Each structure stands twice: as C-alpha cells, then as structure tokens.
Structure 1
C-alpha cells in the first residue's frame, strides 16, 4: 500500500513547532495577542469571554498575521452562536450518531494530551444526516477540548480503519468534519494515528488530502500493522493505551 507520500516525514517524530515560552518570540507573540484582542473586542463583545490562549491559537493558525487571525476568530464567534445556540450540543441532538458507538475517549498520551479513538467501520454514509453529523463533530471536539489539562492545548486521535469499506466511505462527511476542525478549532489537533488502513481507503484519502491545510497534513501519521504497538507506545504509555492495541485501558464510548 503506497502511503509514504502522505505520512509525516520520518514517521512519528513530533510535528509541532511552538514558540518557546519566556523568549523574545513569545513576548512578541503575546504582544500580538494583545493587539488582536483590542481589535476583536471592538468588533464583537463576545470576544471578551475567551482567554488569550484561544486568541493565540487563532494567531498561530494564521502564521502570526493579526488581520487574518482576527478575521478567522470573528468568523468563529458568529459560527458558534449559530451552530451551538444553547452553548453545548446535547446527547439528544446527536442521538443517532451516538447510537453507532463509533467514537471513544481513551486516557492521555505522554504529553498529557487526551486521546480519542474513532472506528471507521462503524460509520455508514447511508445512515447519517449531514446536519446531525456536523453537530456530532462539534459535540466530539467540545468534549475532547474539555478533557485537555491545564498547560496543554491539544488532543490526539486514533483513527482505526479496520473493516472499512465502500459502505463506510463518506467524503462529504469527512470534508465537513475537516472544515469544522480547521476553521473553528485551530491548533487543537496534536496528532492522528491512522491504523489498520485498507488499500481502498487510500482512494478516499487522495480526495480529502488537498483540503487539509499544510500544518494539519503533518499531523496525520499512517502506521503499519507490524509497527502498531511500538509506534503507539512511543507516544502513549501502556497504562493509557486501549487494550485492543495491547494496552491496559478499555474503550469508553464518548457519551459514557
């Protein structure tokens, strides 16, 4: 299976490039955050409710360009009011998605980032409603972010594609989920391990790949079956790894 061109260089090395705290770059970055805050609060009072770390994530997503970051953030505030009018997505609003038992929470990696596990073969394009699917993506991302500990800003995913076939292929859903994550949850994704990848999936991947921004592309790591446990253990302690991958934790459904 030809996956090398899509993998991050070097396999599983750390993909993030952060500004070192306490240095001149960090000081300059926080100054930009202050300027950004002054502008966005003037445009939308709701900006006063978010912390500086959120503004910094948007700033980093736009390569320190205050104008572009502000535009992106203001778009997020407008979207949030419309997409999540009650502040949270309830279980009832995504009950059909939850019933499929395809998303699980699973411990934390060695950097303290919470782990989510998705079972690709549990999703069927014929059974999903796009509006509910989008709400479900927000539901998942909000819950993942709520599990991020102080001092950390990102989460990790394991996309298990064992048994994935034509009935599971859903390009529209993949693109919708990708757009929500990239547009409204910037700098939240730390890494995604794609495991048990069938050859058929690569055809879908080639259609989705052009829509992934350059920073995010580096965070997708394809893992060969023969290196599965060793690759996951490099980032995740055995005590935090799902038992189905050789660890000691049982999978817990997202709504449990």
Structure 2
C-alpha cells in the first residue's frame, strides 16, 4: 500500500480527515493526566516518549492512520490499541532492544539465514525472506527468536522508500517438516503484526508447500484476521515469484540472481562508534531535548488543525513541523539505535551515524586540547 491508496494520507475523504483529527485529540487527552491537554506533560511522559520514538522517521499522520484503518476507523478502538502498544513497548523493552541492536541477539541465529531482508518487489515493498526449514523448534530460546523478529520488523521500517508503507514476506516451505512447526512462535508473530505493527504487511507469498503443511495451515488460518488472510497467497510453482519479484531481487537459492544471504557481523568501527555514543551523556541529552521540543511543536500545531484551523498558513506550518520532527529524530538515532547488517551491506543508508560520530570525535579532541 502507498500514500495514494484510499484511506491513506494522500487520499482521504472529508469524513476520514475529521476522524483523523478526532483521533489525535482523543489520543492526547488519554495521554495527558491534566483536565486539559498539556503538551509539555505529554512530551515528557513515558507514553509521549514511546509515541514519538515509535513514529520515528514517519509522518505522524501516516502512523496514526495505520491504527485507524486496522480498527476500521473506530477512534476509541484505534486509540486504545495504540495506548496498549505503547505500554507493550515499555514492558517488552523495545527501546533497550533497539539501543543494543544485533548485540542483543544470538549470533548463531543471525547466521542461520532463516529470516532476512533482501531487495524489493515490483511494487517497491521491501522483501523479508523466511526459509522455514532453517528454523528448528527449540533450537534457540523462544525469547531470543522473538527478539530477532521484533528487531527485524523495526529494521524493516527503515527499508521503506518513497510512498510505500508495507512490506512483502516470502515463506519458503522447501524441506519443511514437523520439527520446523512452531505453533507458539506462529501465534507470537500473528499477534505482533495484528496488535503492535498493524498495516505493515502488504503481501505474503508461500512457496514449496508440502502436503503436511496444509494440515498445519488449517489450524493456523483460524488465528489470522481475514484482512491479513486476504494478503496471503500460496504459489504452486516457484516461477510464479517472477510475477511479483524481479530475479535480481531473488536469492540464488530461489533461482534468482542475487547472492544468497550471509550475515555480516558488527565491525570494530561499529562497536567503537556504539560505545562512544552510549558514553556521550551530554550529547544524548541535547538531541533528546531537541526531539521533545520538535514533538511539542508538532502537537501544538496539530491541535490547532484538529480544532478546525485549516488556513494555508497553518497547513504549511504543520508541514514544516513534520519535517522538523523527522530531522530531530534523525539526530537522535545514533544515541538510541545501532547500525545493522543492512547498514553494512548498503541496504540501509543512515549517514547520520558517521556525521554525528565525526562531530563527537571533534568535540572530544577539543576537550583534550583545552585541557
């Protein structure tokens, strides 16, 4: 799905726009503990912090619309699901996971090649390949595999380009056996996408399905929301993948031309950079304050818009506030995220890591000179 599809940010009717406005007001009323909405209180609260970290690089309206569409434009339902997600992110330690990145995962599982991103489909969606035979039930602690899955979803958001809002999943069932069937993990991922990352899946293609898997699917499909079921397609022949994906974006193991996945571990530079950013408490304080200020400005402008001000001046101010929010988050990223395999292979380009690191090194050198 893209920004131009019906019900998305660039294709909203008047009713949907008014619903979006109401959703913003309702969310802020829920987060604010005061009798009236307090922007300062919201941006300094755990919920407000989690909200804007979750939004990340995204346009906040695009983010909010995911929840509204998932709840069929029911404002109270959308706001409750979003509040539940913010609480889940805190309880699950998502920010801590993102701050440690792949260092928090098992290197053996990263190297297994059972799940990875590679290229884009013909609709411009990033592709997540899952080779089910490489997942052996109970080989790794389920908590570790869940962390791998969450970090993959978070990383996948950085792979979105242009107006594209969703990703594609390819489930390769070649070699599948019952030792690969992990119902507990399947339930976890279904709940993950339906509850905490709604409207993130655009297409799922299942290939090489043996007869034994269809009995498993007969159980699984009852756990899957009908909307998501409609995005899942079983392909009879591997060549059908070419209708959706250019061979250059298919790994050789699926008869494409792209080199097969091979995990690239963090470099010495990655680890040195990570340690430097985590030690820079003052720098973190500065960029965090700037991000909160940008979030507060965005919310102030958004409240004016939600309460009926649709002047060209206000709409332009809101557009600029959206950009300022994104820019401030980018400055914050090196202090709360890490580089990943996808940075090292060139699939994700976040120059802010290098830019911020050079600034930090320069500041430290100046301190030495002054001393």
**TM-score of the two chains, using structure 1 as the length reference:** 0.85
Q: Which deviations, in whole Å up to 9, do the C-alpha atoms of 1:127-169 show, x marking residues without a partner?
A: 1322222212101111112101131100001100111101111
Q: Does 1:166 align with 2:183?
A: no
Equivalent of residue 218 in structure 1, options 226, 230, 239: 230
Equivalent in the alignment of 1:242: 251
Q: Give the whole-Å Cα distance in 1 for the aligned partners of 2:162 and 2:81.
A: 25
**Higher RCO (C-alpha under 8 Å, 6+ residues apart):** 1
Deviates more, 1:33-42 or 1:238-247: 238-247
Write the deviation string for residues 211-240 of structure 1: whole angstroms up to 9, x where unpaired.
100100011110112xx21x2222222332
CA-based RMSD of the aligned residues comes to: 2.0
Q: Residues 156-235 of structure 1 correspond to what in structure 2 (within 5 A)?
A: 156-225=168-237, 228-229=238-239, 231-235=240-244
- Structure-1 residue corresponding to 2:90: 81
Structure 2 equivalent of residue 104 of structure 1: 116
| Structure 2 counterpart SS, 1:252 | coil
| 1:72 corresponds to which of 81, 84, 95 | 81
Q: 2:7 aligns with which of 8, 12, 19?
A: 19
Distance 1:253 1:157 in 2: 19
Stretch moving more, 83-92 or 105-114:
83-92
TM-score, length basis structure 2: 0.60
> Which residue is 2:101 aligned to?
90
Q: Which runs of 5+ in 1 are unaligned?
A: 1-16
Task: Name the structure with the higher strand share.
Answer: 1
Q: Give the number of aligned pairs.
A: 236
What's the counterpart of residue 58 of structure 1?
67
Spell out structure 1 runs of 4+ moving beyond 6 A. none
- Greater helix content: 2
Q: 2-side partners of 1:67 and 1:190: how far apart?
A: 25
Kept after mapping to 1: 8 A contact 2:117/2:127? yes
Residue 33 in structure 1 maps to residue 20 in structure 2: yes
More divergent stretch after superposition (159-168 vs 128-137) = 128-137
Question: Which stretch shifts more, 209-218 or 86-95?
Answer: 86-95
* Contact 2:113/2:261 (8 A) holds in 1: no
Q: Secondary structure at the match of 1:127?
A: coil
Larger deviation, residues 246-255 vs 181-190: 246-255
CA distance in 1, matches of 2:153, 2:120: 15
Q: Secondary structure at the match of 1:78?
A: helix
Structure label with greater radius of gyration = 2
